Amino acid sequence: MEDKKPWESKTILFNALVAILGVIASLGFMPSIHEWVQANAEIVMAGIGGLGILLRLVTKGKISIG
Give the tens place of pLDDT for each residue, 1-50.
678 888 888 888 889 988 888 888 778 777 888 788 889 989 999 999 99
Tell me the whole-structure pTM to 2 decimals: 0.70
Residue 63 β-bridge partners: 4
Domain boundaries, given as residue ranges, for the chain: 30-59
Measured CA to CA in angstroms, residue 46 lies from 8, 22, 37, 41 at distances of 25, 16, 12, 8
Looking at residue 1, its pLDDT comes to 60
What is the DSSP code (8-state) at residue 45?
Answer: H
